[in-house]
Amino acid sequence: MAFHFDWVNSVAFTPDGTAIASASGDNTVWLSSTVEPRLIGKLEGHTFGARGLAFAPDGELLAVAGADRLVRLWEVESGTLRQTLAGHTERVNSVAFTPDGTTVASGAGDATIRLWRATDGSARHTLSGHTDSVLSVVFLSDTLLVSGAADGTIRLWSIASGDLLTTLDTATEAVAGLAISPDGTLLAAGLHDGSVRLWQIDVE
């Protein structure tokens, strides 16, 4: 399926697997059916490239990270823009929802992570500690967030307090992507040196 007019930066499945969202440098997000090759909808609003994507666990909302420094929350069924989240001073690279869908995290080129309430778009915390662009964010649980950055570190944060809990050093290699295993016991990180590293997670 080729609908975009520029490179595709990110793709994500809806939680039920019936559709895919794709974010592109052409400033659009397309929703496409996985059952047959057809478009379901088109989300427009970003002015300088759509980057990261994340669906809420119930599939009702889609968060889109923009190179225009904004995060937009879209209602998937109607295609209506619910909230525009402003606060970052550089492009937003990655977004994620908590497993309960109440909080959105955004990581950006300003070296910060911002936490937002999904219900009304209000700010919860700004997490500072990275010294270079935050490239990936992923929730370990409803209370813990993991971030990876171009400064070569992976950081674990408390959602409730915004405090930094621990830092993993990858020997200065930028951390481009993060993933948590389905059982929540392993953290995988993709690095700019071409390697993938695994850590055992113990949050007791």
Cα(62)–Cα(54) distance, rounded to whole angstroms? 6
Which of 185, 177, 184, 183 has the alpha carbon at shortest distance from 197?
177
14: tokens are 């809806």
pLDDT, tens digit (0-9, with 9 covering 90-100), for 30-75: 788 998 888 888 888 777 778 899 999 999 999 999 999 999 999 9
Segments making up each domain of the chain, as ranges: 8-200
Q: Which CATH architecture has domain 8-200?
A: 7 Propeller (2.130)
Query: For the segment 136-164, what is each residue's pLDDT rounded down to a tens digit?
Result: 999 999 999 999 999 999 999 999 999 99
Burial of 98 (0-12, 13-18, 19+ CB in 10 A): buried
pLDDT at 22 over 90: no
Largest CA distance in the chain: 47
Would you call 183 helix, strand, or coil by DSSP? coil
- 113 near 129, Cβ under 8 Å? no
